[in-house]
Amino acid sequence: DTAVSQTPKYLVTQMGNDKSIKCEQNLGHDTMYWYKQDSKKFLKIMFSYNNKELIINETVPNRFSPKSPDKAHLNLHINSLELGDSAVYFCASSGGTGANEKLFFGSGTQLSVL
């Protein structure tokens, strides 16, 4: 069983569309995250949720809205997609919010906006 699973793995869409990426973890973790990896492979945190509560929102445009229906799921909705949103998006989870918590990553979703 995959510990952190995200779908879809690839997402190709037109500018202006609305799309969602789903993430689920079966590790019993309290904290989930979304990270963005740009074309230069730089990773940057977007959101952090702890027990369904938003903890971090890192100056992400409000076209991006995370939704956490329960602590095992953190989905990412993106409205009015723009070319610059093309990137790889990684979901991750950890047991807690401390700096020394090990992160478990999903396999990534490669989003291409045409």
Partner 1 sequence: KNEVEQSPQNLTAQEGEFITINCSYSVGISALHWLQQHPGGGIVSLFMLSSGKKKHGRLIATINIQEKHSSLHITASHPRDSAVYICAVAGGTSYGKLTFGQGTILTVHP
Positions in the binding site for partner 1 (CB under 8 A): 31, 33, 40-45, 48, 50, 55-56, 58, 88, 90, 92, 94, 97-105, 107-108, 110
Residue (45 or 72) nearer to partner 1, CB: 45
Question: Residue 101 Cβ, how far from partner 1 at the closest point, in Å?
Answer: 7
CA distance 37 to 109: 10
- 90 burial class (0-12, 13-18, 19+ CB within 10 angstroms)? buried
CB of 44 to partner 1, least distance (A): 7
What is 43-66 written as a DSSP string? Answer: EEEEEEEETTEEEEE-S--TTEEE
- Residue 3: CB minimum distance to partner 1, A: 11
